[in-house]
Amino acid sequence: MSTRAELERAEGELAAAGVASPRADAELLMSYVTGVPRALLIVSARLDDVQRRSYRELVEARSRRVPLQHLTGSAAFRYVELDVGPGVFVPRPETELLAGWAVEQASTRDDPVVVDLCTGSGAIALSLVHEVPKARVHAVELDERAFGWAQRNLDGTGVDLRHGDMADAFEDLTGQVDVVVSNPPYIPLEAWESVAAEVRDHDPSLALWSGEDGLDAMRVLEQTAWRLLRPGGVVGAEHADAQAVSAPEVFARRWTDVQDHRDLAERPRFLTARKPQLR
């Protein structure tokens, strides 16, 4: 079977399984197996018997909705590559905008102290040390398996990574932080059936579910950020597109400059707020 035919067969199998981007996934898996860039697959890729068998096994696994990144073992995020696999939340492209906001905020300060709450794979923390070398970055993760992946990704970077709950994390940094950033769990428990199989069945529960309205973790985050930030410090947190009003309301009582931001698909995606200056 030719490379083109193999790709078309895989695309059909993935489409029938309900994979959102069957052609792209078929190409990415073939590129992973052969080492040939996606753009050159048709002209350059020639699968031997071992590669063909491996490729078909990966396509079959993807058709069972195993996340693509779990099959390839890596996920791209802004300008870095992360090791990912079972037990850790796969970083999403929409979170790159929140990370970009944190990078911008840290870049404006001379000696920025940044805390990444619910770091997961370490994606935001790694982006921060990569793009803002002067930043002192701290990160915390509660889930034990996810913490292991964060260790793997952040080892040797200088990030102060800790295993624990964001509710009482970094008590030694109280009132000393410039930027708090977080992609917390925010899916309401009642939304179980509407969540994609790749997420529901493979991402860790601690990274997904957050009470009846999806904002339990956001309320904890608000309290922790208030404790950690110095006056004038800022917080940014991702939320579901249905929480464009309810998530910022968590910060409305005592924060200033509370704003909501949209992602590249024009969906509400993350909020930002500032701790008031002392008078």
Q: What is the pLDDT of residues 48-58, one digit of tens each?
A: 999 999 999 99
For position 9, what pLDDT does the model report?
94
CA 23 to CA 248: how far, in whole Å? 38
Q: CA dist 109 to 180, 203, 234, 261, Å?
A: 14, 35, 12, 22
- Give 217 or 212, the one with higher predicted confidence: 217
Ranges 34-38, 111-115, 126-130: which has the least confidence: 34-38
Q: Is 212 helix (H, G, I), strand (E, B) or coil?
A: coil
For position 261, what pLDDT does the model report?
96
**Residue 186 tokens, joined:** 């925010």
The angle formed by the CA atoms of residues 164, 126 and 152, to the nearest 5 degrees, is 65
CA 260 to CA 254: how far, in whole Å? 16
Residue 222, pLDDT above cutoff 70: yes
For 223, the enclosing helix (H) or strand (E) is helix 216-228
Q: Given pLDDT bands bounded at 50, 70 and 90, which one contains residue 199? A: low
Residue numbering of the annotated binding site for substrate: 183-186
**In sequence order, what are the residues at sequence separation of 6 or more whose Cβ sits closer than 8 angstroms to the Cβ of residue 155?**
none
CB atoms within 10 A of CB 205: 10
Residue numbering of the annotated binding site: 141, 183-186
- CA nearest 76: which of 58, 52, 96? 96
Write the pLDDT tens digit of every residue in 135-184.
999 999 999 999 999 999 999 999 999 999 999 999 999 999 999 999 99
CA 20 to chain centre: 19
For 256, the enclosing helix (H) or strand (E) is strand 256-262
For position 195, what pLDDT does the model report?
58
Q: What are the E-state strand segments in the chain? A: 74-77, 80-83, 113-117, 136-141, 160-163, 177-182, 229-238, 256-262, 268-274
The stretch 106-114 carries a mean pLDDT of: 96
Percent of the chain with pLDDT over 90: 77
The mean of the pLDDT values for the chain is 92
Q: Given pLDDT bands bounded at 50, 70 and 90, which one contains residue 231? A: very high
Flag whether the pTM goes above 0.85: yes
Residue carrying structure tokens 């996934």: 25
Residue numbering of the annotated binding site for S-adenosyl-L-methionine: 141, 183
